Amino acid sequence: MKTRIVIFFGLVLLGVTALLAFQSKSENKTMLNESEYDIIVKVEGLHCSMCVRNCERSLDKLEAVEKSSVQLEDGLAFVLLKDGYEVTKQEIINAIEDAGFNAGEFKRFPETIDSKEQ
């Protein structure tokens, strides 16, 4: 009986620890410094943390991308470009679609690149 009680409380403690770690990670994610990113685009169809990770992986595969961060809560993808690199809106859209999602409105995109596309 004592063994079952110890195991039960051990599992409860493990669950609480995991929950607190998840909440801490989520809070850090929302404290993102938007100004450090070159591109911000709406991503439609995100449902869970795996969706977020798949979208980030797809964006990170682009040669011009230094790093990306996708936020589940607001459905936004933040993309930082490598110095001296450029990317088109269509390349960003394709990467998001390759991950299985839809790209929405671009909230921020470098004007110098945007004017070259037109």
Residue-wise pLDDT for 54-92, tens only, equals 999 999 999 999 999 999 999 999 999 999 999 999 999
* The CATH fold of domain 34-117: Alpha-Beta Plaits (3.30.70)
* Global pTM value: 0.70
- Strand, coil or helix: 91: helix
**105 φ, ψ to 5°?**
-70, 140
List Cβ neighbours of 4 (8 Å cut-off, separation of 6 or more). Answer: none
The per-residue pLDDT for 114 is 56
